[in-house]
Chains A and B, each alone.
Chain A
Amino acid sequence: MPERWLRFCRRLVPAVVRQTTFDPAAADLELEWASRGAPTGQAARFRLRLALVAVALQCRRLAAHAGVSHPHRPGADLMAILTDLRHAARRLRGQPVLTLVAVLTLALGTGANLAVFSTANAMLLEPIRAPAPDRLVRVYPLSADGGFDKISYPDYQDARDGAPGLDLAAHAEALVEIGRAGEGGGVRVAELVSGNYFRVLGLAPEAGRLFDVREDEGELAHPVVVLSETFWRASLGAAPDAVGRSLTINGAAFDVIGIAPKGFRGTFNAHPVDLWVPLTMQQVARPRGLTLDQRGWGWMSMIGRLEPRTTLVEAQRQLTLVAADHDRRFPQRGAGFAFTVTPALAATDGDRQLLGPMLAAVFAFTALLLAVTCANLGGLLQARLGARRRELAIRQSLGANRRRLVWDGTAEALLIAGAGATAGLLVAALMTSLLSSLDLPESLVGNLTLVAPVGWRVVAYAAGLGLFAALLFGALPAWRASRLDASGFLKGDGTTIGGGRRRARSRRLMVVVQVALSVVLLVASGLLVTSVGRRDALGPGFETTRLGLLTINTNRQRIEPGARRPLADLALETIRRDPAVTHAALAMRAPLSSGRDSMTFRIPGYVAPSGEGAVSIDFTLVGADYFSTLGVPMVAGRTWDPLAAVRAPSAVVNETMARRFWPSADPVGQSIDLPGRGQLTVTGVVQDFSYYSIGETPRPYIFLSAETEPPSEWVLHVRTSGDEEPVLARLARALPAADARLSPYEVIPFETLRRAPLFPARLLAAGASLFGVFALLLTAVGLYGVVSASVSQRTREIGLRLALGAQPGLVLGEVLREAGVLAAAGAGFGLVGGYLAATGLRGWIVGVSPFDPGVYLSVAAALSALTLVAAWVPARRAAAVDPVAALKN
Chain B
Amino acid sequence: MSNRLPDITHLQFLVLEALEAAEQAGRDLRRLLEAHGVKNSAPAFYQMMSRLEQADLVTGRYDQKVVSGQHVKERRYEVTRAGRRAVQATRHFYRARAVAAGRPVRKGSHA
Contact = CB atoms under 8 A, between A and B. Distances in A.
Interface of A: 1, 17, 20-25, 27-31, 34-35, 37-38, 53, 56-57, 60, 72-75, 78
Contacts of B60: 20, 24
A842 to B, nearest CB: 55
B69 to A, nearest CB: 8
Contact of A21 (B9, B40, B50, B65): B50
Given A72-B9, A74-B40, A60 B47 contact: yes
A137 B99 CA distance: 82
B96 interface: no
B43 A30 contact: no
B109 interface: no
A27 B50 contact: no
A620 B69 CA distance: 72
Contact of A24 (B9, B40, B75): B75
Residue with the highest number of chain A CB atoms closer than 10 Å, among B53, B65, B70, B72: B72
B47 A17 contact: yes
Interface string B29-67: 010000000001111111111110100000010100101
A549 B3 CA distance: 101
B74 interface: yes
A57 B72 contact: no
B73 A27 contact: yes
Contacts of A35: 67-68
B100 interface: no
Contact of B70 (A23, A38, A57): A38
At the interface, is chain A mostly helix, strand, loop or mixed? helix
Nearest to B60: A20
Given A28-B27, A74-B47, A34 B67 contact: yes
Contacts of B53: 20
A56 B73 CA distance: 21
Contacts of B75: 23-24, 27
B68 A38 contact: yes
Given A28-B27, A72-B9, A34 B72 contact: yes
A60 B42 CA distance: 13
Residue with the highest number of chain A CB atoms closer than 10 Å, among B41, B42, B49, B70: B42
Given A20-B49, A35-B67, A27 B43 contact: no
Given A38-B68, A60-B47, 11 more contacts: A20-B50, A20-B53, A21-B46, A24-B42, A24-B60, A27-B72, A29-B42, A74-B40, A74-B44, A74-B47, A75-B40
Contact of A25 (B9, B46, B65, B70): B46
A700 B29 CA distance: 86
24 contacts: A20-B46, A20-B50, A21-B47, A21-B50, A24-B42, A24-B75, A25-B42, A25-B43, A25-B46, A27-B26, A28-B26, A28-B27, A28-B30, A30-B70, A30-B73, A31-B65, A31-B72, A31-B74, A34-B72, A57-B43, A57-B47, A74-B45, A74-B47, A78-B44
Given A31-B74, A56-B43, A57-B43, A24 B26 contact: yes
Nearest to A71: B51
A24 B46 contact: yes
A137 to B, nearest CB: 37
Nearest to B68: A34
B47 A23 contact: no
B82 interface: no
Residue with the highest number of chain B CB atoms closer than 10 Å, among A1, A25, A73: A25
Residue with the highest number of chain A CB atoms closer than 10 Å, among B9, B11, B46: B46
B30 to A, nearest CB: 7
B43 A34 contact: no
Nearest to A72: B9
Given A20-B50, A30-B72, A56 B67 contact: no
A57 B43 CA distance: 6
A25 B50 CA distance: 11
B73 A23 contact: yes
Nearest to B54: A20
Nearest to B77: A24
Given A28-B26, A28-B30, A53-B43, A34 B70 contact: yes
Nearest to B65: A31
Given A23-B73, A34-B68, A28 B42 contact: yes
B53 to A, nearest CB: 6
For the complex of A and B, 5 pairs with smallest distance between CB atoms:
A24-B75, A25-B42, A34-B67, A74-B48, A20-B50
